[in-house]
Amino acid sequence: MNKRDIIVIGGSTGSLTVLKELVKSLPADLPAAIFIVWHIAPNSPGILPEVLERFGKLPAENARDGQKIEMGHIYVAPPDHHLLIENSHVKVSKGPKENRFRPAVDPLFRSAAAAYRSRVIGVILSGGLDDGVAGLWTVKEFGGTAIVQDLLDAENPSMPLNARKRVEVDYSVPGNELADLLIRLCNEEVEEKKQPMTKKSGKTDVEISIAGGDDALLKGVLELGAPSYFTCPECHGVLVEIMEGKNIRFRCHTGHAYSSGTLLSEISESVEDTLWSSIRAIDENIMLLKHLSSHLQEQDAELAGIYEQEASRIYERSQKVREAVVEVTKPPVETGSL
């Protein structure tokens, strides 16, 4: 019998408060190692470990590639790097972004599940969209325990909400109860899942390798799913569609990965950028006509008048285009679910 001694935590907007409260309540002799992915900008100074050490009793640091895992330690994904777990060591890489992020939650959870199976506790905290859903699903598939922050307690409930909708979550708790739950789970014995999941394990290994920086095409990324009609927003490669339980996600041949929610968000932003570029081009046309009209007033009043009329005509039509663009790019009405 094993004990749960690998805790992986993912969060974004609104999760820092919970993380500080969590480490404050954890004992110095916690019989588990904690790994954290917190969505941060690539140029961030990476001071989360210092913050966590200031509030708690456990040593915390930005993970280093090849570092040996020690119980009672906190390992944080450094800025612009994925954090992976490989057989008693950590791996830090600059593999392709997943869900627009590096570090991303899914690679950490996926690698922990493959390496430690039922010994893993996966925790999804406050944050936008749905990074972490696929990773938490893998944690459950390999026999681990799935926890999400209570939706009413989360500053941004999208990440825990999407996890609850697509993964059989074991616990949903407010941030101030998370430490007690983790302490209890770490001290319980857990039975190892006996049946090896060869097909699932093989696909998971491919995705872990990609996140680690290996060549996605050579590793067999195109075998992960059927080709879709969509292209990668980052590199414009064809995306394969991956089905996992209730979850649909996508990955391109260079390795970029997207949840369905993130892909929709990326495509919507691209559409908006294109539409506003059209408005910009129309405005530049109007400004040029007005500029030429003003310049020609004394030299060719008739031509100047034609330019002025044309500018007015385009302006009137452009208002209809602008109204249409504003209507198309309005955010969806909140319905209480994603």
Q: Is 131 a catalytic residue?
A: yes
**Separation of alpha carbons 75 and 81, rounded Å:** 13
Q: What is the DSSP string of 37-58?
A: EE---TT----HHHHHHHHSSS
Give the side-chain half-sphere CA count within 13 A for 309.
6
Q: Which amino acid is at 25?
A: S
CA 20 to chain centre: 21
What is the number of other CB atoms lying within 10 angstroms of the CB of residue 271? 13
54: tokens are: 């200031």
Q: What is the DSSP string of 95-107?
A: ---BTTBSS-HHH
229: tokens are: 């009609």
**Separation of alpha carbons 215 and 220, rounded Å:** 9
- Candidates 193, 225, 192; CA nearest to 206 is 225
DSSP H or E segment with residue 241:
strand 238-244
List the alpha helices (DSSP H) in the chain: 16-25, 48-55, 105-116, 133-141, 158-166, 175-186, 198-211, 216-219, 260-296, 301-328
- Candidates 201, 214, 199; CA nearest to 254 is 214
Q: Which amino acid is at 273?
A: D
Q: Which amino acid is at 302?
A: E
96: tokens are: 């392709």
Is residue 42 reached through a cis peptide bond, with omega within 30 degrees of 0 on the bond before it? no
Catalytic annotation, pick one of 5, 12, 73, 158: 12
Q: Is 39 a catalytic residue?
A: yes
Catalytic annotation, pick one of 15, 39, 82, 126: 39
What is the number of other CB atoms lying within 10 angstroms of the CB of residue 195? 6
Catalytic annotation, pick one of 93, 131, 153, 209: 131
* Residues labelled catalytic: 12, 39, 131
